[in-house]
């Protein structure tokens, strides 16, 4: 869970970064869109049953690596901020937290007599 807490902080940084390092329109818009999405996926993945949602941040991290060139950033600090944040989001989204219990079993569990998630 600690890795997703760091991803939450990184998402908050993306939202706040344009105010600290220069407010270009493309950088600000990108941070205000990608930041809340990263925070949402990171917070949802805090719980054990939804731990795999952390993987949904991987494409957003990849986008942050490409965004400075696709959107045409002109500020060096904005490029460094987005690329550094993208690398960290990819790294911390790749870390799987500890899973102690099994949840669900999908639709197949409806037709089983004694599904694994119901056993103690």
Is 32 within the bounds of a domain?
yes
Q: How many structural domains compose the chain?
A: 1
Domain that holds residue 87: 2-96
Is 63 within the bounds of a domain?
yes
Of the candidates 48, 45, 17, 51, which has an alpha carbon nearest to the alpha carbon of residue 31?
17
Q: Stretch 78-103: mean pLDDT, rounded?
A: 89
Is 114 within the bounds of a domain?
no
Is 119 within the bounds of a domain?
no
Is 107 within the bounds of a domain?
no
Question: Is residue 7 scored above 70 in pLDDT?
Answer: yes
Is 30 within the bounds of a domain?
yes
Place of tokens 């600290």: 20
Is 117 within the bounds of a domain?
no
Please give the model's pTM, rounded to 2 decimal places. Answer: 0.81
The residue with greater pLDDT, 22 or 10, is 10
């Amino acid at each position: 869970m600690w890795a997703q807490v760091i991803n939450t902080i990184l998402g908050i940084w993306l939202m706040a970064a344009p105010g600290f390092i220069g407010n270009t329109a493309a950088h600000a818009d990108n941070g205000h869109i990608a930041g809340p999405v990263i925070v949402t996926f990171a917070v949802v993945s805090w719980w054990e049953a939804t731990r795999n949602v952390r993987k949904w941040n991987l494409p957003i991290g990849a986008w942050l690596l490409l965004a400075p060139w696709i959107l045409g950033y002109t500020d060096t600090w904005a490029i460094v901020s987005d690329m550094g944040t993208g690398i960290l989001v990819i790294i911390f989204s790749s870390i799987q937290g500890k899973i102690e219990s099994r949840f669900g079993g999908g639709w197949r569990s409806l037709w089983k007599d004694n599904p694994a998630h119901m056993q103690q």
